[in-house]
Chains A and B, each alone.
Chain A
């Protein structure tokens, strides 16, 4: 991925920066300019909770070329403790250890090294607690 495309997402990927609605309290990740719950434009920066619970997951056996060397890998959606929902890989475990309802924590890891500009792409993943 060219650095110019990666750059605007660094605060989210490195620091889990989202937004919180000042009016209704909804937490958004990634950050928004308009609240998708109440329509308010009064949002403040907010750092997402680092723990949550798996709502659903899949094991990917047929990935895009960029992820070929990593298959099979698990991708899950977790509901974080502040209500935001986050999509990420589940790492440091075998696929059969992953279940709906299990608790996860966010960790900072390498996502991919094959970006076209040669940059190593970092971001968040889940580990089972």
Chain B
């Protein structure tokens, strides 16, 4: 296997992009990444997107995006794994470059969610449509089922859930690409409208239009064309699956797919949780960040809530989590999320994250998750000198 580097990134502003359709949104991010990498062509492309068919009545977006990016006849395919589509696409791009099949691969993710469709119902198709969504379960409701159990088993406090949101908004307020660049308070979260008890509106990631893209290439090639910035290598890639229905799990306070993906990625990278300088994790709901930071090995099971309260996951804390603002503040255009996580980690390792910079960051981790944890990816990136 060849060593693989991230040589370019593109991440335009996210939000409610009423004047742009899915192709405009994707192509803008892809062009940014190509320009940032300084390459004159790409050999292959992966387009992560959860549900262009339901939101935009458009399938076959691999070819569509290659066409509008001016890159036909390169191979291009859409990757779908619900909210983990982006992470799964990154993994496929990584494998393609590592294998030697292609040298320069673009991995992009996109979701156009503001199209007038019932987004709660579209998102619920990532759950078991016949045995969960059929009974009126929504995604906030699935994570609420986990939150209630986490509170019951470990005494996790309602305020601690809110603190995840407050911390991520504080980071997102300093990210010019975030959908909601403003700070919020614990009181605001507790007083926001209930969505699925015990989760309120400000525990939930928003509905977002947006795209992000990265360019992958062999480290040898990266060294030849590198700008005056360090090389960032993907040193570990893990992916795993679990039961689609939450009910079928043994426990509702841990996510085995996250644990397994992390185990694979840590092993491949030759590092452990104690070596990670910062992490982007899938905080689709506040409880998700708490459970995931436990399952990645940053904190003991049941201690994720306390860790947030003690400020361990803030910038400047023991292990800064979601310096980008997380899904909560920067937005969650489903297919783009896992790719934007890689953009944030890469920039942090390049040392170009401005006010959000984690000083001396050398190794970063990105964890992306689909559904109620039925799929997850973990990538570990390292600045190499």
Contact = CB atoms under 8 A, between A and B. Distances in A.
Nearest to A79: B247
Given A60-B141, A63-B138, A87 B118 contact: no
A46 interface: no
A89 B136 contact: yes
Interface residues of A, number: 32
A129 B13 CA distance: 52
Contacts of A21: none
B120 A62 contact: yes
Given A66-B121, A67-B136, A61 B196 contact: yes
Nearest to B119: A64
B224 interface: no
Given A62-B120, A85-B247, A100 B152 contact: yes
User: Among the interface residues B137, B194, B201, which one has the most CB atoms of the partner chain A within 10 A?
Assistant: B137
Interface stretch (B23-31, B59-67, B124-132): B124-132
B196 A87 contact: no
A100 B201 CA distance: 23
A77 B248 CA distance: 10
Given A61-B196, A123-B134, 15 more contacts: A12-B131, A56-B145, A58-B196, A60-B196, A62-B193, A63-B120, A64-B124, A64-B136, A64-B138, A65-B118, A67-B136, A75-B141, A77-B252, A85-B248, A87-B135
Contacts of A85: 247-248
Interface of B: 118, 120-121, 124, 130-138, 140-141, 144-146, 148-149, 152, 193-199, 201, 243, 245-248, 252
B148 A100 contact: yes
B114 to A, nearest CB: 16
B197 A111 contact: no
Per CB-CB distance, the 3 closest pairs between chain A and chain B, nearest first, are A58-B144, A64-B121, A59-B197
Interface in A58-90: 58-67, 70, 72-73, 75, 77, 85-89
In this complex, which of B118, B132, B134, B197 has the most chain A Cβ atoms within 10 angstroms of its Cβ? B134
Given A64-B118, A87-B247, A57 B135 contact: no
A52 to B, nearest CB: 11
A63 B136 CA distance: 7
Contact of B131 (A30, A57, A65): A30
A86 B198 CA distance: 21
Contacts of B252: 55-56, 77
B135 A111 contact: yes
Contacts of A121: 134
- Most chain-B CB neighbours within 10 Å: which of A66, A73, A89? A66
A121 to B, nearest CB: 8
Contacts of A66: 121
A32 B144 CA distance: 27
A40 interface: no
Contact of B134 (A55, A72, A111): A111
A59 B194 contact: yes
A87 B194 contact: no
A28 B148 CA distance: 24
A58 B141 contact: yes
Contacts of A57: 145, 148
Contacts of A36: 243, 248
Given A9-B130, A77-B145, A62 B140 contact: yes
